[in-house]
A and B are shown apart, each in its own frame.
Chain A
Amino acid sequence: NAGVTQTPKFRILKIGQSMTLQCTQDMNHNYMYWYRQDPGMGLKLIYYSVGAGITDKGEVPNGYNVSRSTTEDFPLRLELAAPSQTSVYFCASSGIGQGTGNTIYFGEGSWLTVV
């Protein structure tokens, strides 16, 4: 059971380039999330999905796009990378159970630098 797997682990982008961060989970979770975490700060929600085909904006969606064609996969697309998007990105998922059934499971993070 791999949990939440995201790739790549590290990436350097030039300003204006685009890229996709991949995320997959094998826990059959309905909910998936993308967060970014700037140094010394808490997590900020970028986008989330409540199931295949359904996505919605979080707190900081500008400059990003997502899709959810399957339950397992939730890629994050960065268009026209900017230095402000230099951050650590975490993909996460959770079930729809009550109480601890809603525990959020995180991937190991993707470190992105835009130069």
Chain B
Amino acid sequence: LAKTTQPISMDSYEGQEVNITCSHNNIATNDYITWYQQFPSQGPRFIIQGYKTKVTNEVASLFIPADRKSSTLSLPRVSLSDTAVYYCLVGDIEIGGNNRKLIWGLGTSLAVNP
């Protein structure tokens, strides 16, 4: 399984764009990149998923370079409510059930300040 590395913590201010980069140098051909968000005292929540190039939804954008050895989660104009831990996960989830093989690291603790 591809090991991921992401910053332990980040600070930002309301209204700014936040970019969290995740390194996954040994990503496999069949691996997807998935990001989850976890608020204090809650379970993680799916944010976005991608395989290559760029993916955008109503919450975030995910940028993946051609070599796929890293990815960047972009949160536009963050608010205080975006304060959470963000997890980058890499794994072959094309086949149902491979979620059990995902490795949950420490994530990136994002603090949004007023």
Contacts and interface: CB of A to CB of B under 8 A. Distances in A.
Do A and B pair up? The answer is yes
Interface of A: 4, 30-31, 33, 35, 40-45, 48, 50, 56, 58, 90, 92, 94-109
B105 A45 contact: no
Main DSSP-derived SS at the B contact region: loop
Contact of A42 (B42, B87, B94): B87
Interface of B: 32, 34, 36, 41-46, 49, 51, 87, 93-94, 96-100, 103-107
Nearest to A109: B43
A75 to B, nearest CB: 17
Nearest to B94: A98
B100 A106 contact: no
16 contacts: A30-B97, A33-B99, A43-B104, A92-B43, A97-B96, A98-B94, A99-B32, A99-B51, A99-B93, A102-B98, A102-B99, A104-B99, A105-B46, A106-B43, A108-B42, A108-B43
Given A30-B96, A41-B106, A42-B105, A104 B32 contact: no
A95 B46 CA distance: 14
Contact of B100 (A40, A42, A58): A58
Contacts of B51: 99
B106 A43 contact: no
A47 to B, nearest CB: 9
Contacts of B96: 30-31, 94-98, 101-102
Q: What are the 4 tightest A-B residue pairs by CB atom distance, in nearest-first order?
A: A106-B43, A96-B96, A42-B104, A43-B104
A42 B43 contact: no
A51 B25 CA distance: 33
B35 to A, nearest CB: 11
A106 B105 CA distance: 17
